[in-house]
């Protein structure tokens, strides 16, 4: 199976139109929000919207897509209101994903914000257990690797492994979304075949390659270990042509690649990734 290549598509024109918009951009898969990424009240998904979305998936011949949870999530928060709201939102996103037919919902676990990191990680563990308790849907949950800025959790393989340790085998848990920009900014160098292989071996020892399920693929405006989440168009950042070394591994040839770059050159990004894939 070769990777499908897609991008994050706006829902501004209505979520039901996203599959057709993705097709217009040359996508073979896509990512989208189902609500405002910054929070606020959600719009319920009507049966009409769900039906139109599924019809448009068929009309576009796109078979797979994923959902990104809102950015406001913080499963590690010391404030019960924030943590409980985050739990509720992610569980609801899984249910909405099941209605729409999404493969995955991915999320950023949040920030420790001054508390000891072990305590924050324990909060994430408990929150994940609560999210998946009694869940019987078809959409699975992914944790996205972070860039390591400030007190954000999930920049290292070890920290991600710790956060998911109690739910690795739970129904509804899928695994990890590997963001190339985030991992590079966190200090993981994969710009040569040897370095990419060494990094994947570390991932396997720490998390398990069976849990590598998806990749956000983009270049980085931040240099190696810069701890800054700043996406760049393919080939224009510090990763550069070295991105091919990672994408050419057998592990990345079996998961889909989703772009989160700005729309100004995204058509070129899509063509670039298709060229890399089709040259394998």
* pLDDT, block means (10 residues), the chain with 280 residues: 95 96 98 89 90 97 97 94 96 98 97 92 98 98 94 96 97 98 98 98 98 98 95 97 97 97 94 94
The whole-number pLDDT of residue 41 equals: 72
Cα–Cα distances (Å) from 106 to 95, 109, 220, in that order, read 13, 10, 20
Q: 31's torsion region: left (phi>0), alpha (psi -120 to 50) or beta?
A: beta
The terminus-to-terminus CA distance of the chain in angstroms comes to 12
**Residue from 65, 73, 82 nearest 36 by CA:** 73
Residue 49 phi, psi dihedral angles, 5° rounding: -60, -45
The whole-number pLDDT of residue 150 equals: 85
CB atoms within 10 A of CB 121: 21
Judged by DSSP in three states, 130 sits in helix
The whole-number pLDDT of residue 1 equals: 75
**Residue boundaries of the structural domains of the chain:** 5-278
Q: Which two tokens stand for residue 114?
A: 């001054």
Report the b/e string of 63-96 with b at 16+ CB within 10 A: ebbbbbbbebbbbbbeeeebbebbbebbbbbbbb
- How far is the C-alpha of 70 from the C-alpha of 217, rounded, in Å? 19
Class of the domain covering 5-278: alpha beta
The whole-number pLDDT of residue 251 equals: 97
Judged by DSSP in three states, 215 sits in strand
Cα–Cα distances (Å) from 182 to 163, 168, 173, 192, in that order, read 17, 22, 21, 17
């Amino acid at each position: 199976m070769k990777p499908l290549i897609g991008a994050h598509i706006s829902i501004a024109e209505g979520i039901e139109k996203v599959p057709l918009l993705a097709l217009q951009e040359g996508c073979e898969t896509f990512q989208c929000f189902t609500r405002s990424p910054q929070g606020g009240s959600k719009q319920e998904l009507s049966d009409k919207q769900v039906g139109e979305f599924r019809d448009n998936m068929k009309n576009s011949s796109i078979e797979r897509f994923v959902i990104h949870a809102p950015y406001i999530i913080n499963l590690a928060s010391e404030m019960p209101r924030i943590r409980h709201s985050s739990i509720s939102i992610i569980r609801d996103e899984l249910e909405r994903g099941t209605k729409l037919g999404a493969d995955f919902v991915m999320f950023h676990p949040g920030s420790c914000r001054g508390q000891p990191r072990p305590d924050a990680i324990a909060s994430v563990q408990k929150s994940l257990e609560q999210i998946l308790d009694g869940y019987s849907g078809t959409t699975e949950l992914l944790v996205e690797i972070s860039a390591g800025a400030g007190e954000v959790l999930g920049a290292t393989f070890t920290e991600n492994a710790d956060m998911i340790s109690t739910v690795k085998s739970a129904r509804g848990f899928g695994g990890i979304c590997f963001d190339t920009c985030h991992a590079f900014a966190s200090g993981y160098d994969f710009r040569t075949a040897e370095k990419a292989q060494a990094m994947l071996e570390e991932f396997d020892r720490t998390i398990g390659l069976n849990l590598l399920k998806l990749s956000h693929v983009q270049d980085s405006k931040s240099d190696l270990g810069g701890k800054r989440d700043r996406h760049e168009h393919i080939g224009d950042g510090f990763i550069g042509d070295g991105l091919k070394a990672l994408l050419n591994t057998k592990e990345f040839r079996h998961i889909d690649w989703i772009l989160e770059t700005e729309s100004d050159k995204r058509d070129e990004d899509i063509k670039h990734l298709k060229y890399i894939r089709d040259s394998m």
